[in-house]
Amino acid sequence: MFSRIFLSTIPSSIKIVSAVTLRNSKECFGLQSICCIPSTNLVTKYRTYSDHINPEEMIVDYEHVKKATSANNILIVDVREPDEIKEHGKIPNSINIPLGNVSTVLSTMSENEFKQIYNRSKPCEDTEIIFYCMIGKRSGMAQQNALNLGYKNVKNYLGSWTEWATKGN
Which residues are part of the catalytic machinery?
A: 133
Closest CA to 117 of 89, 143, 97, 87: 97
Beta carbons of 114 and 120 less than 8 angstroms apart? yes
- State the Cα angle at 155 between 49 and 136, rounded to 5°: 110
Reading phi first (left if > 0) and then psi (alpha if -120 to 50, else beta), residue 35 is in left
C-alpha span between 75 and 60 (Å, rounded): 13
C-alpha span between 164 and 162 (Å, rounded): 6
